[in-house]
Structure 1
């Protein structure tokens, strides 16, 4: 097995944000008119946790049942998340940047994938000083569909000129990250324990590995 491309999730996998996602979600629910302390809010919160890693606008469509309310919620979410990361809350997962550089030094291309919009993704990368760190960064809008569909991984395969999906490694902290990797045909699909989900969810989705951190990925590739 030769790995030529690593597709890595952002929040929870390569980036830690001190709970900014759920803080932004609370503002989004307020914007959508789903009041704190209600059963509807509790169900929405649980759904968001269960589907972490998927396209945010799709999550809000499922929660609200309305395109208009979903757009309002998503706009509030993106604005709130940007406020937090521009305040310096986001930082690299320990060892993540070293792992990315180690992969690249050994001929492995690296693509970052996220459920955030391109604008939020790029602002997050800028806040970390990662604008030029990786070979590619993709959002659902760049690929057609977000996770758990394989579109972002397959888009990275095409754009970076990888000949075989079996030459791909995927790492992420959610069940949807793992499922997207499995559906894309990647040889290595690793769940990492630095974010939302744990071994049970990773195993259910078909992970080939469960790692304490993305920092361990070069090691299992043999680098």
Structure 2
């Protein structure tokens, strides 16, 4: 969702970096980039396991709570906006009776705040968040939950669009077609290395693939 349909600047990565800094852990850029597309709680747990070993379990909630607070503060101060062309594509899909579901590794209260700012109420049919499912990407749970909420039982009629390799791997694991966009975290080389139906510049070009 973030990087695919919502432009979020560098808020997420900076909040991630600072949350670990406040716990005395200095992350390398490659460690931060590697978590893009994953459930943030899972990513924090994995990094803490590497850096803190036996202390990791006791630190997860503290680091995650700090991360969420920093992110909320950034959004409140600087705002967010749709990726250019997203509103037009949503309108194009709705004109054709195509259901629209958003899924994300963030928790519900953060996503509710983002959606309030882009005003997609009445446009999006379902929103599935990281705390709605047992497993985050690359597991298929987010996509399968979105299918359940939109009444879709045929994976061959589902497209999952995302900007990271974890998005594409989740699409493969759900048995749906994965489309990558270059407007977010992943570059062309990274995304081409994953199973995909198409790679497009941004979600604004989605109608060209579907046409």
TM-score range relative to shorter protein? over 0.9
CA gap 1:191/1:114 in 2 versus in 1, 3 angstroms? same
Q: Does 1:107 align with 2:107?
A: no
Aligned match of 1:12: 3
Aligned match of 1:181: 171
The match for 1:62 among 31, 42, 46 is: 46
Pick 1 or 2: higher relative contact order, CA cutoff 8 A, min separation 6: 1
The match for 1:28 among 12, 19, 34 is: 19
Q: Does 1:172 align with 2:162?
A: yes
> Is the Cα contact below 8 Å between 1:154 and 1:184 reproduced in 2?
yes
Shift of 1:143: 2.1
> Is the Cα contact below 8 Å between 1:172 and 1:191 reproduced in 2?
yes
The match for 1:195 among 179, 184, 187 is: 184
Shift of 1:218: 2.0
CA distance in 2, matches of 1:132, 1:142: 21
> Normalising to structure 1: TM-score of the pair?
0.87
CA distance in 2, matches of 1:142, 1:20: 23
Aligned match of 2:193: 204
1:79-125 CA-to-partner distances (Å, cap 9, x unmatched) read 11111112233111000111112112211101111111111111111
Shift of 1:202: 1.4
Shift of 1:196: 0.8
Please give the secondary structure, in 2, of the residue aligned with 1:87: helix
CA distance in 2, matches of 1:11, 1:211: 16
> Is the Cα contact below 8 Å between 1:88 and 1:127 reproduced in 2?
no
CA distance in 2, matches of 1:68, 1:126: 33
Q: Does 1:47 align with 2:25?
A: no
Aligned match of 1:78: 68
Please give the secondary structure, in 2, of the residue aligned with 1:107: coil
Aligned match of 1:159: 149
CA distance in 2, matches of 1:146, 1:217: 25
* Structure 1 portions without partners, runs of 5+: 1-9, 36-40
* Structure 2 portions without partners, runs of 5+: 50-55
What is the total number of aligned residue pairs between the two structures? 205
> Normalising to structure 2: TM-score of the pair?
0.92
CA distance in 2, matches of 1:179, 1:107: 27
